[in-house]
């Protein structure tokens, strides 16, 4: 199958954020997305940002336009959230984000009435109906199709770092799972989801698509749901491994990490250097460790099997690539990673709230609602850093 890779500006960036719709009193998910999206349809026609449906009617996805900088993309996201609130607030619906809802049950949720979603549920059955998961997707432009798979394979060595800092799904259907990111292990149960196959070039990807289409697994490349995948329509690499972040500044920090890593690896290729990779079994083990332990994970960081605490290894990476971040005009957002490494991810905060409430997960939902609504905008956050 021939698959064209679109032209895109190098290291341009776009962000998608999946948000939960919840009742402010009970904390239960509410299926009001069709109303909200219909009410916004005409208003958003000429905007850079979009608000769209997802698999379940309890979710809206806000999407930025294509930006030269992380700040521009996050500004679009903030504008999209404001638009959603202009409709959701009068309806008495709150917004929040995490990789999972602390206590919601799959059988109470309604699937969005679209053919592609009904087809997914029909095929995947129990696992598909259990996809009560929320994440973020970060797109970064790549100007040369020959760079795509070398960069994807190198990014896989940092997939657990991204998973750890975004970890926000310690609870599932009312239970404490013991995992910082239960979402990441649930999502990989879908066909074509999970870790990317270690392909070496675009022709191998086209062969993969041909095999999968010929055997009826997919109809087109959009149904490839890898943790890191090419997005041929946009000419980007898309990182999909992360739990939903709970605040805008955290979202910005993660987007900056992805943009900086892609640009760094692109420069390495320009210099004729071979990009770092790990054995596939190490990549798989690292994904599990990050899901289980979050920011307390010890990761395998090289082909020799050297193991490092994820926070230490990521701090070294941030220091080493600070100049790249500055050139991409995302230095302050990139520096925001330090706050996550120091204070912990949303998963840590949720568990602390649950402990303080004697395990009452309704308090965790209220915490997530407050954090999403009252947390600083990116502009406010950056202004505070400058003072």
Structure tokens at 316: 């070294």
- CA 64, CA 34: separation in Å to the nearest integer? 20
Structure tokens at 248: 């805008």
- CA 176, CA 359: separation in Å to the nearest integer? 9
- CA 367, CA 123: separation in Å to the nearest integer? 36
Please identify, in words, the CATH class of the domain defined by 112-386.
Answer: alpha beta
- Span 1-28, pLDDT tens digits: 899 999 999 999 999 999 999 999 999 9
Share of the chain residues as helix, strand and coil, in percent rounded to the nearest 5: 50, 15, 35
- CA 280, CA 169: separation in Å to the nearest integer? 25
- The answer to whether the pTM exceeds 0.85 is yes
Structure tokens at 276: 């770092």
> pLDDT above 70 covers what percent of the chain?
97
Give the mean pLDDT of the chain: 94
Nearest to 30 by CA among 60, 63, 62: 60
- CA 380, CA 376: separation in Å to the nearest integer? 6
Q: Are 129 and 256 in contact (CB under 8 A)?
A: no
DSSP-H helix ranges across 304-343: 310-320, 322-327, 331-335, 337-343
- Span 281-339, pLDDT tens digits: 999 999 999 999 999 999 999 999 999 999 999 999 999 999 999 999 999 999 999 99
């Amino acid at each position: 199958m021939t698959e064209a890779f679109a032209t895109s500006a190098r290291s341009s960036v776009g962000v998608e954020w999946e948000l939960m719709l919840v009742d402010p009193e009970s904390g239960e998910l509410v299926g009001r997305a069709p109303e909200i999206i219909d009410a916004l349809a005409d208003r958003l026609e000429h905007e850079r940002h979009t608000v769209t449906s997802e698999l379940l009617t309890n979710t809206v996805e806000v999407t930025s336009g294509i930006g030269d900088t992380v700040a521009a993309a996050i500004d679009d996201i903030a504008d999209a959230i404001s638009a959603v609130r202009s409709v959701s607030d009068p309806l008495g619906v709150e917004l929040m984000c995490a990789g999972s809802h602390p206590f919601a049950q799959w059988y109470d949720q309604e699937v969005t009435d679209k053919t592609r979603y009904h087809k997914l549920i029909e095929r995947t059955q129990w696992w598909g109906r259990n996809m009560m998961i929320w994440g973020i997707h970060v797109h970064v432009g790549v100007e040369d199709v020959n760079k795509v798979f070398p960069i994807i394979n190198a990014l896989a060595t940092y997939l657990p770092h991204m998973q750890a800092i975004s970890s926000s799904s310690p609870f599932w259907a009312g239970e404490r799972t013991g995992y910082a990111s239960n979402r990441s292990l649930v999502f990989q149960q879908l066909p074509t989801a999970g870790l990317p196959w270690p392909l070496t070039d675009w022709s191998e990807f086209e062969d993969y698509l041909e095999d999968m289409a010929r055997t009826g697994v997919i109809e087109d490349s959009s149904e490839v749901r890898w943790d890191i995948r090419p997005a041929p329509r946009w000419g980007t690499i898309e990182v999909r491994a992360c739990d939903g972040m709970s605040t805008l500044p955290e979202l910005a920090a993660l987007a900056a990490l992805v943009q900086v890593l892609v640009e760094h690896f692109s420069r390495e290729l320009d210099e004729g250097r071979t990009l770092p990779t790990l054995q596939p079994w190490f990549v798989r083990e690292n994904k599990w460790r990050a899901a289980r332990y979050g920011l307390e994970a010890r990761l395998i960081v090289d082909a020799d099997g050297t193991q490092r605490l994820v926070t230490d290894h990521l701090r070294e990476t941030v220091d080493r690539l600070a100049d790249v971040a500055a050139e991409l005009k995302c230095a302050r957002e990139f520096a925001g990673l330090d706050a996550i490494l120091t204070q912990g991810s949303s998963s840590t905060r949720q568990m602390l709230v649950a402990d303080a409430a004697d395990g009452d997960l309704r308090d965790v939902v209220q915490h997530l609602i407050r954090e999403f609504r009252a947390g600083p905008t990116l502009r406010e956050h950056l202004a505070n850093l400058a003072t």
